[in-house]
Chain A
């Protein structure tokens, strides 16, 4: 039996150890069939790697460099960027703080995110304000992480920092919205790039999830038929039509239906798209949460009742925490799907990151760069969704899901 390597052993040592432990050499060449399959797989893998690497180094990446600003923020004016960056800085710092505070002992999440941002900055090699800002996010995330880890020693400092962190998470989106609209702000028709995808998804998730909680409770509420029927009808109707149909509805029909209070009927297309995405996400998330609520044994409610807890106290302390634990993987699944669905907004003439790409490779100067552009956009989406799933896996491990 091989000696177990130290936790700090090098990656190579750990791979070697894993190879020996898994008895791979015996498995890979166990019989003639095994040997043939192993060799064919190895050749295929090498061929794929060589081809990909070859393509990577010969591809025309100039378009990505030239269009890095539109990819990030669309037509958003350069002198207005101060409305966007602070929110992103804070986001980076919060990620670092949170992983340091609550994600012990794994460090993979922080490292994954940091590596992702580092790769992104590397792709935008020229040292301009964009690159500096991206590097700043990375620095803030690392600083946050270090501060949080240092704070573990002192309970009072730790509780202070975790309170500030939670409060800042709650206030982040309102803060970003205020910055984006305060004073002489550029109209939302200037919004674009990955910024629009992230903003739309974030708002749909942050606002839509509480709505979903109410819908799922409403749907399972005995004794109030009006609420139950209304919730059920809303969920079934929204799920009954494709997202594109709802986006068109928001774009072309909503202005005629909305009342004229506060100029709601003249609200711009991004605002209406947000409403559509919030409601769409709420309907789907509601069903996910309802599934979690149904999985809670009746005895939990009886125990809560017998202790004298009221309906809302039971919800907050007993049923919702357990429901969210049970459905966390499905919930993240739903959020990842929603994030990718935000690319559909190009149909109602919002220039999201994919549309920026499409416009770029249709330009005469960049003819024949479609593959490069699509790979880059795909990479960005992968980076975000993979971070989401990495974070959720860490949260699951932290909650001890599956182990208790």
Chain B
């Protein structure tokens, strides 16, 4: 284990602010996420929910505040950043698979390059990952030869191949045809049951209700309400939360 102490949150964000020019995408967000917790992030578009999870692995650099991931503080030290990124997997709305590499190479690439794993071992790991997401038979194909749902499952296997402690999902089913959403959610559900720490931005309320330990509701760059699914769906406090839920449910 790294330098994280017991009972300490695996992600600690304090007063995080993110500016795009004059526009404040995050206006001081604080959140603790515990190891093994599944957190679903909700909010209208432009509320900062994607920006927040992209700050956790520094695809966006925050200007103000601190983020500590597994005891490592994000700062200008690029070695820290590298370490954090290899512990935090991410799945994107648009899959972002590497189109010039086979499915197997997509998954085996990071273990080989970042962890310097020998080729055979990395490919074995990649095959195990593809089996876990249910598409080992597609290993030799190229990403564009697969359906959207299959591509997203490859993307999940690719992120898992780095054996991360935390998985970030940025609207993983939003670009999918309706009949493919289930196969991706099934994989995510299995992952949640295995005890993975997950932060999920999604509009799939049924799935969210079922797997989430906790909800964070974003509006205009702030967390305006948080709580358990029960609290959230049966007893929301804030007007904006009620309005959002009435629109989405």
Contacts and interface: CB of A to CB of B under 8 A. Distances in A.
Contact of A307 (B99, B142, B162): B162
A325 B100 contact: yes
B162 A308 contact: yes
Nearest to A400: B142
Interface string A308-342: 11100100011001100100000000000000000
Given A299-B94, A307-B162, 4 more contacts: A300-B98, A306-B159, A308-B86, A400-B142
Interface in B66-113: 82, 85-86, 88-90, 92, 94, 96-100, 109-110, 113
A47 B110 CA distance: 63
A397 interface: no
Interface residues of A, number: 20
Contacts of B205: none
Interface string B50-70: 000000011100000000000
B199 to A, nearest CB: 13
A52 interface: no
B120 interface: no
5 contacts: A299-B92, A306-B90, A307-B86, A307-B109, A404-B142
Contacts of A322: 98-100
Contacts of A297: 96
Contacts of B85: 305-308
A404 B99 contact: yes
B144 interface: yes
A151 to B, nearest CB: 20
B144 A404 contact: yes
Nearest to A307: B110
Interface of B: 57-59, 82, 85-86, 88-90, 92, 94, 96-100, 109-110, 113-114, 142, 144-145, 158-159, 162
B84 to A, nearest CB: 9
A183 to B, nearest CB: 43
A297 B143 CA distance: 15
Contacts of B94: 299
A302 interface: yes
B113 A313 contact: yes
Contacts of A306: 57, 59, 85, 88-90, 159
Contacts of A318: 98
B142 A303 contact: no
A321 B110 contact: no
B162 to A, nearest CB: 6
Question: For B82, B89, B98, B158, which residue has the most chain A Cβ atoms within 10 angstroms?
Answer: B98
A321 B89 contact: no
Question: For B59, B86, B100, B158, which residue has the most chain A Cβ atoms within 10 angstroms?
Answer: B100
B198 to A, nearest CB: 15
Contacts of B100: 321-322, 325, 399
Contact of B97 (A303, A305, A310): A303
B141 to A, nearest CB: 9
A404 B103 CA distance: 13
Contacts of B144: 404
B240 to A, nearest CB: 30
Contacts of A404: 99, 142, 144-145
A233 to B, nearest CB: 29
Contacts of A303: 90, 92, 96-98, 158
Given A305-B85, A306-B85, A308-B85, A300 B110 contact: no
Contacts of A325: 100
A211 to B, nearest CB: 24
Interface string A208-223: 0000000000000000
A214 B82 CA distance: 24
Contacts of B159: 306-307
Contacts of B114: 307-309, 313
A308 B110 contact: yes
Contacts of B58: 305
The 10 closest A-B pairs by CB, nearest first: A308-B86, A303-B96, A299-B96, A306-B90, A307-B110, A308-B85, A308-B114, A404-B144, A313-B113, A404-B142
Given A318-B98, A325-B100, A309 B142 contact: no
B99 A302 contact: no
Contacts of A313: 113-114
Given A308-B86, A308-B162, A302 B59 contact: yes
